[in-house]
Chains A and B, each alone.
Chain A
Amino acid sequence: GAVVSQHPSRVICKSGTSVKIECRSLDFQATTMFWYRQFPKKSLMLMATSNEGSKATYEQGVEKDKFLINHASLTLSTLTVTSAHPEDSSFYICSAPTPHGGLDNEQFFGPGTRLTVL
């Protein structure tokens, strides 16, 4: 099956620093990837849709200048949390749609990145 990886799996940083999270599709190409944030005991909330070759589409209420997304290639999307603050501490998960295309909607999730901002 399709495999999505994320790096790093865990990161601890000081308040005010920036953190970059990578999402890779390992054995398929993804022109679209999705970034989610999940707070403890909460659901996955879509932050933005990452589009290869064009700007990301952000969900309402998500600051695009704070959460920078770059879809650098057909297998890599990055999320940079700029000037991170403790309230940004969360579990960040990416996903990529099935490589089969067509009407198939299945998404493949990365293992997630646990961000802790001190």
Chain B
Amino acid sequence: GENVEQHPSTLSVQEGDSAVIKCTYSDSASNYFPWYKQELGKRPQLIIDIRSNVGEKKDQRIAVTLNKTAKHFSLHITETQPEDSAVYFCAASHTGANSKLTFGKGITLSVRP
């Protein structure tokens, strides 16, 4: 089955700096890679996703890059703000609406004011 690794487990940055979070996956058949932000006690919120036919996707301050050959994908947050502080999870799945997601362990991002 799929194994998604996420490192490091914590990341602290100064407000305004960029943050990069990396994930690797094992299943070469995976082709959907979402990133979720989860605040304490809340549901995960999709912030951006990428499919294997695309190498990069950007949405305002957030971008995701995918390297299928190396089986890794990264989340980039620019101009970080204190409200970006949360736990971020990467995940991977196959194609299809009923495909199950495999999550990474998550990273706690702290943005220092």
Contact = CB atoms under 8 A, between A and B. Distances in A.
Interface of A: 31-32, 34, 42-46, 49, 91, 93, 95, 97-98, 100-107, 109-112, 114
Nearest to B1: A60
A45 B98 CA distance: 16
A42 B98 CA distance: 24
Interface of B: 32, 34, 41-46, 49, 51, 89, 93, 95-106
Contact of A103 (B41, B43, B46, B96): B96
10 contacts: A32-B98, A34-B100, A44-B89, A103-B96, A105-B32, A105-B34, A105-B93, A105-B96, A106-B34, A110-B43
A67 B19 CA distance: 39
Contacts of A107: 34, 46, 101
B103 A49 contact: no
A105 B97 contact: yes
Most chain A beta carbons < 10 A, residue from B45, B97, B99? B97
A32 B96 CA distance: 12
Given A106-B49, A109-B44, A111-B42, A43 B97 contact: no
Contacts of B104: 43
B103 A44 contact: yes
B105 A42 contact: yes
Most chain B beta carbons < 10 A, residue from A43, A100, A105? A105
A44 B44 contact: yes
A16 B87 CA distance: 33
